Each structure stands twice: as structure tokens, then as C-alpha cells.
Amino acid sequence: MIIRKSALIQYALIYLMMIYNGGVLYADIKVERPIYIQIVSYTIIIVGFLAIFLNKKKYGNQYCLYISAILVIAVMIVRYTVGGVGLSALVDYLSCIMMAFLTVSVDKKMFPTRVINVVYCFAGLSVICYLLQIFSPNILKMLLSPFKSSFSYNDWSAAAYGGSMVNISYTAWGKLLFTMREGEMTRNLGIFTEPGNYQIVLNCAMFFLLFLPQFYLFNNKQMKRRFIVITLAILTTQSTSGYLILLSYFITFFFIKDYSNMTNIRKTILGLLFLAAIFLILDYNIRGNNSLLYTAVIGKLFNEGNMDITASTGVWRLGTIGTSALLMIMHPLGAGFDTTFSVIQQQLAGSAGGALMAFGAALGIIPFFATIIWYIYPVVRSSSLTVAAKITFMILFFQSVMAQSKVFYPFIVCISIWLLVNRKNDHLKYENGIYLR
């Protein structure tokens, strides 16, 4: 079997997208050896711009230039008027945008197939490692290299004897293929710093799998296998955001007539829901407050028996969103990140998620709305998606950028870019065991 150079490049870029999507390796290198991240990021940005201008036949779409120009101008205005935003933020935005653009453009026809395959392989490995993490973590501790993670806790035990509080980093194991970390031993992190980042990757791959079946090279059996494995991976992350996005996918498939012809996948979804319900009930009855159902749903949505979206980290997310919205109104041209996060800390004594709103508060109303439009425009205009699929993308996008800490996640960006560069609807077909391009 001959593997094309474009395939190797695209697979490597997909893995790099995963790392930049909140990977442990990215976070670790950024702290320990930030120069490496800077070199890679600048290289991606430069190569991206050069490709657009010098190879117009393959990389000639200039859609990424529009948002890049808006971001550059916004950062310059804020930096020279109020300060509090630097080149590092701009590089982070542009590198994620250009990385997604280059990854898609290397081979736009094969991108959906390859991105699903990569995520499927990592999802399968993570589910296996997750089971080991639950039942025999010592095996993973022997196989994976330990390191001090960027997550920590305060130890106050010495204070009882007149000592000082000590900040202790959680120990973690593994960076490249799977990560296990103290404090998250009951959740599937994949190769990411937190489950919320992992579920974005999984749900983006699921979006391609469920809503764009005419563009990848899988028969029904292969599709079903990938669906089951990726679903299991999402469930084991115990991410509330991941569950809400996945639920929107399932609702679309069950109640929208456009997908009534996909009988096999509908049956699979129904079967998985039934098995998941049985498992969650048994797990809750056995482990109570430590169960998956409690930690991922009940503990985050209910407080003292009543529905409360401010339970758990919800209060910080809503507070961050509300405070950022007020700042955006008060400073329509941007308040800068220093002022934004300073005000959030003063008002809330903490923060969580709300990335899109904090982004708007820091850089201003124009880049805030421009970013939303830039993401959504290719989806709304796409003839490849049904109205229901377009709505599920809105849920995927807003739930992710409102609940998490970044605005430009490469995996979400790549959906918008792929729909734009594939406007001619170049289908792939699978007939009699042969892939037809």
C-alpha cells in the first residue's frame, strides 16, 4: 500500500490540531519551553499566509484573511489605547486559524475521513486506558511517564502548626497518547488538560460522522463502529458540555425527518441510550455522589434538590459571562485582557469559561460579532447541511466557546473552513468495497 505524502502531512497536522485544542503536551511545553510553541505557531502562521498568496490554486481561499485582519487591527487598537493585550494572544488566535486552514486544504476531499479516523483511534485508546485508570491505575503508572501537571491544590495542613500554605502540583502520567492525572482519576482526559477540551474534539468528529456522511469513506458497519467508540469516549469524559452537545445530535437524528433514512445509526443510538440509562442508574445506586451521573449532571445542575445552573462551576461561568457583557457595553472598543480579568476577579473572586464573552470584553464589540459571523457564515450558507444540522453546529460552537477557555479551537474552526472550501460539494462514494473519489 502506497501512502501519499499529502496523507502523511494531513495526519500530522490533525494530531497537531489536537495538541493545540488544549492538549497536555501544548500546556506543558508552553510552561517549560515556550520558545518551542512560539516557533511552531509563527511557522504555521507564516506558512499559512504564504500558501494563500503563492499557491492560489490549492490554498487560494482568502476567508481566513478577513478574520485575521480584524483581529490584528483590534489588538493594535486595544494595545495602544488601554493596553492589556499583547502579541501572544494574537499569535494564539492566528495559529489556530491557519492550522485548521492548512490541515483542511492539504486534501479537502479526504479531510473528513482522516479526521474521523484519527479521533476514532485516539477515542478507542482512551476508552481502554480509562478502564485501566478506573480498575488498575498502577498499570498505567508503569507504562506512562510521570510529570508535574499545571493543575495544583493548596495544602493547609501545616497552618495548624504555625506553618504556611503549600501549593502542590498534581502528578500526571503520559502526554502523547493518553493522560492520567490525580484529581481526575474518574474521568477520561484523552491527551488533554481537561475533559471539556477532549469533548470538543470528539463532538467535532461526531459532527462530520453524523451530518456529512456523503463526504467520507465508510460503509455502514465502519460508521457504526466509529459512532459507538466516539460516543463511549464522550460519555467517559463526564463533561456536561459534551453531554449537552451529544444530546442535541441524538435529538436531531430521532426527531428530524431528514435523517429518517439512516435506520442503522438510529437503532444504534437507541440501543446505546438504553444501555447507558441502565449503567447510569446502577452506577448511581452503587456509588452515589461519586457516580458518573452525579458528578457530570446532578452535581452541576442541581443544588439542594432544586434546579440550579449556578451549581458547581456554573456560577463562575455565568458570572464571567455577565461581567464580560457589561464590560463590553462599557468599553465597546475593548478594555484589554488585564482589565477584563481583573474586574472578573474582583466581582467573582474566580472565573471559569466564558471565553467568547471575555474575548469581546477585551477586544471590543466589532471582533466579537465578526468572530461569531465568521464561524457561522459557512455553515448557514452550506448546501451540504440540513437546517437541523446547522442548528446543532450552533449548539456545538456556542456551548464550547461559552463554557471553555478558548475562542478559536482548531477542531471547531476546521468545520467552518472545510464547509467553505468544499462549496462544490465534492462527494466521496463507497461502492462494492471500492472507494471512488
Mind giving me the DSSP string for 157-194?
Answer: GGGGGT---EEEEEEEE-SSS--EETT-TTS--TTBSS
DSSP 3-state of 269:
helix
- Alpha-carbon separation of residue 208 from 37, 115, 386 (angstroms): 29, 9, 13
Q: How many domains does the chain have?
A: 1
Taken in order 101, 106, 111, 114, the sign of the CA dihedral is: negative
Q: What is the pLDDT of residue 77?
A: 93
Query: Where do we find the cell 472565573?
Result: 351
83's grid cell: 493596553
> Residues 32, 132: contact at Cβ < 8 Å?
no
> Residues 266, 259: contact at Cβ < 8 Å?
yes
128's grid cell: 481502554
DSSP 3-state of 85:
coil
DSSP alpha helix (H) spans, 354-425: 355-363, 365-381, 387-403, 410-421
Taking Cα atoms as reference points, which of 258, 115, 216 lies closest to residue 426? 216
Q: What is the pLDDT of residue 292?
A: 62
Rounded to whole angstroms, how far apart are CA atoms 6 and 17? 16
When computed from its CA atoms, the radius of gyration of the chain, rounded to whole angstroms, is: 22
- Alpha-carbon separation of residue 374 from 33, 121, 231 (angstroms): 33, 31, 29
Q: What is the pLDDT of residue 391?
A: 92
The one-letter code for the residue type at 254 is F
Q: What is the pLDDT of residue 41?
A: 96
Taking Cα atoms as reference points, which of 316, 419, 327 lies closest to residue 365? 327
What predicted TM-score, i.e. pTM, was given to this entire model? Answer: 0.86
Q: What is the pLDDT of residue 166?
A: 61
Beta strand 306-307 pairing with 166-173: unpaired
DSSP code at position 338: H
Q: What is the pLDDT of residue 59?
A: 76
List the domain range (segments joined by +) for residue 183.
Answer: 5-436
Rounded to whole angstroms, how far apart are CA atoms 177 and 419? 29
Q: What is the pLDDT of residue 13?
A: 97
Q: What is the pLDDT of residue 232?
A: 92
**338 phi and psi, to 5 degrees?**
-60, -50
Over its length of 437 residues, how does the chain's per-residue pLDDT go in tens digits? 566 888 999 999 999 999 999 999 999 999 889 999 999 999 999 999 999 988 877 777 788 999 999 999 999 999 988 888 888 999 999 999 999 999 999 999 999 999 999 999 999 999 999 999 999 999 999 999 998 887 766 555 544 555 555 667 788 999 999 999 988 888 999 999 999 999 999 999 999 999 998 888 888 889 889 999 999 999 999 888 898 899 899 888 776 655 555 556 666 666 666 666 666 666 555 555 656 666 655 555 554 444 444 444 555 567 778 888 888 999 999 889 888 888 877 776 555 567 899 999 999 999 999 999 999 999 999 988 988 899 999 999 999 998 888 999 999 999 999 999 887 655 554 444 444 44
Beta strand 180-181 pairing with 166-173: antiparallel
In the chain, helix, strand, coil percent, each to 5? 70, 5, 25
